[in-house]
Amino acid sequence: MDFPPYPSGLRLAGRRVLVVGGGSVAQRRVPHLIAAGADVHVVSPEVTPAIEGLVGSAEVTWHRRGFEDADLDGAWYVIAVTDDVAVNDRVSALAEEQRVFCVRSDDGTQGTAWTPAVGRHGGVTVAVLGNREPRRSAALRNEIVEALREGRIAAPEHHDRTPGVVLVGGGPGDPGLMSIAGHRALMEADVVVADRLAPREVLGELPADVELVDVAKLPRGRSAQQEEINRVIVERALEGKRVVRFKGGDNFVFGRGYEEIIACRAAGVPVTVIPGLTSPVAVPAIAGIPVTHRGVTHEFTVVSGHLPPGHPESLVDYDALARMRGTVVLMMAVENSPEIAKALLAGGREPGTPVAVVCDGTMPTQRTVLATLSTLGATVASEKVQPPAIIVVGEVVRVAFPDAFPDAAPTTAGAAAVADG
């Protein structure tokens, strides 16, 4: 198999780099190593006049002799460029043993690293790795650098630079489920304020100079944390920056997004919204459960279960929910699910009503646990269900998993028959 090389920018400042050989190839490499601030050690009985000129004037030490195994000690990177294959073999074998990346000038396939054709323009380094076709790489490098100089191609500054706040919904977790507009806004941001449930993989793509504020690391406590978030987004926007408030799912679905809108408006900061796929719809879908199905339900209700039924601050009418016949999607409800199931049963839902608990939707650890309203509490405990999870209650779960729930519930089956007829 001929795998392509993995490109990487090495930061060599102050780090020992061994160059074995002092001929014309070494002469071409050494200046680049010096430019990178490396602690360069050249081992060779003879060196070219150009290399000799660098010794002493820069961070180059010349060891005027043949290669010895101990030369590799402490090296981060090795360049074997003698005209003696046996020496190069010895160097690369030792380097392999010591897990130091080694470039070989005589036979690239025997080395563990390749030197790209390098050019610089406007603070950007252009590195081209041809498939062992150095002339082609160099020609392409020249083309790119020349085009940059002449302005035929530009490192684009076409980013939207208007200061302000953009609320970006990141979807349920898989970065591939983010919107294109959301992704673009993220890549154009100066500051990103990200939640724990936001698709974090995408954060790795952010340019290095973007300020990342991790909400998971802010002090806990619901209102203090939100106040801090409001303060940060407003403050940065007032400094003239583009701020993305990056959340899992959609910012307005139990995401406190509108509190942020209010804070921005109060401070005169422009704010826009890019909606995200919200987990109460997307996570069941990913798990194969439709939140509606023709003839089965004409409604679905999304409920926050972060407070137990009957809690003085709860705004959920569980009696009404129990009297409705459609799908109930519970969020933030793992802890209170036994109490919620009881409340729905007490209000008249059938004990055999199918329930699916979808944990870690779209993540590698995603799993679906099935239960009924009467067994939900016990199942959540025995299966050790942990948030984040979406709990889907209703006949749609039977539609998705007919084998797990063979007996049709009498009431809805009748309704379905009528609706389908």
> Catalytic positions, please?
195, 217
List of E strands, 58-175:
60-63, 77-80, 101-104, 117-121, 124-128, 164-169
Nearest to 341, CA basis, from 328, 358, 326: 328
Segment contacting ligand SAH by CB under 6 A, of 53-61, 202-210, 241-249, 308-316: 241-249
Asked if 197 is part of the footprint of ligand SAH (rule: CB under 6 A), the reply reads yes
Among positions 248, 308, 326, 354, the unique one binding ligand SAH when judged by CB under 6 A: 248
Cα gap 156→122, rounded to integer Å: 12
Considering only residues 339-378, where is the footprint of ligand SAH by CB under 6 A?
358, 360-362
Among positions 21, 22, 116, 173, the unique one binding ligand SAH when judged by CB under 6 A: 173
Q: Please give the C-alpha separations between residue 324 and each of 393, 394, 413, 414, in angstroms, as whole numbers.
A: 12, 10, 15, 16
Task: Mark 265-294 with x for binding to ligand SAH (rule: CB under 6 A) and - for no binding.
Answer: -------------xx---x-----------
Residue with nearest beta carbon to ligand SAH: 249
Count residues contacting ligand SAH (CB under 6 A)? 23
Element of type H or E holding 147:
helix 134-149
Residue 391 CB, nearest approach to ligand SAH (Å): 8
Among positions 140, 218, 332, 408, the unique one binding ligand SAH when judged by CB under 6 A: 332
Residue 285 CB, nearest approach to ligand SAH (Å): 11
Element of type H or E holding 304:
strand 300-304
Q: How many CB atoms lie within 10 A of CB 167?
A: 27
In this structure, which amino acid lies at residue 184?
A: R
Among positions 81, 237, 264, 331, the unique one binding ligand SAH when judged by CB under 6 A: 331
Considering only residues 25-84, where is the footprint of ligand SAH by CB under 6 A?
none
Whether 368 contacts 324, CB under 8 Å: no
Q: What is the CA radius of gyration of the chain?
A: 31
Considering only residues 385-404, where is the footprint of ligand SAH by CB under 6 A?
387-390
Asked if 253 is part of the footprint of ligand SAH (rule: CB under 6 A), the reply reads yes
Compute the CA torsion angle 249, 254, 256, 262 (nearest 10 deg). Answer: 100
Question: What DSSP assignment string belongs to 73-88?
Answer: TT-SEEEE--S-HHHH
Segment contacting ligand SAH by CB under 6 A, of 6-14, 130-138, 381-389, 400-408: 381-389
Residue 277 CB, nearest approach to ligand SAH (Å): 8
The residue among 78 and 330 lying less far from ligand SAH, judged by its C-beta, is 330
Quick one: 418 exposed, middle or buried, by C-beta within 10 A (0-12, 13-18, 19+)? exposed
The residue ranges that bind ligand SAH (CB under 6 A) are 172-173, 197, 247-250, 253-255, 278-279, 283, 331-332, 358, 360-362, 387-390
